[in-house]
Amino acid sequence: MCRADLQALAPLRRHREGQAERAWHQARERLRECEAESAAARAHLQTARERQMAERAALGDAHRGRALSVVELNAWSTQERRLIGELAEHAQRVQALEAAQARQAQDTDAAQQRLSGRRRDLEKLKALMARLGQETGDE
């Protein structure tokens, strides 16, 4: 390869490195957003659990020590199932967000590896150009 060929490759390599760097920054930002959303969902789940425990305790206190009619028992059971269902929905959302966060972490790692490869390619080209420049200077 001659020096002109290498000089023609340099802008292309710099462009590819820039693209890889922008992609990595975007992936890293999306990962931060996923982490924040997961943390918020976990906090919301914890709040929902605490609320459910308080509601269950209140329901238990309201019905403690007295006989319940079938209607009251069915209403209590319905409320319990609703609370359990809400918790299950929150837990599923947290799991989905954590899975998305894990995928985004993998994407971010892959983008960082691509960036490292592009940087290596550019460094190799610079080293080759420097060596070729030295060899031409020696002649």
Residue 64 is given by DSSP the state T
CATH number of the CATH domain containing 59: 1.10.287
Mean pLDDT of the chain: 91
Task: Enumerate residues 6+ apart whose C-beta is below 8 A from 85.
Answer: none
Per-residue model confidence as pLDDT tens digits over 66-95: 888 889 889 888 988 998 999 999 999 999
pLDDT score for 137: 67
Per-residue model confidence as pLDDT tens digits over 89-115: 999 999 999 999 999 999 999 999 999
Give the total number of structural domains in the chain.
1
Matching residue, tokens 């995928």: 103
Residue 22: give the domain boundaries: 3-138
**Cα 120 to Cα 139: distance, rounded to the nearest angstrom:** 29
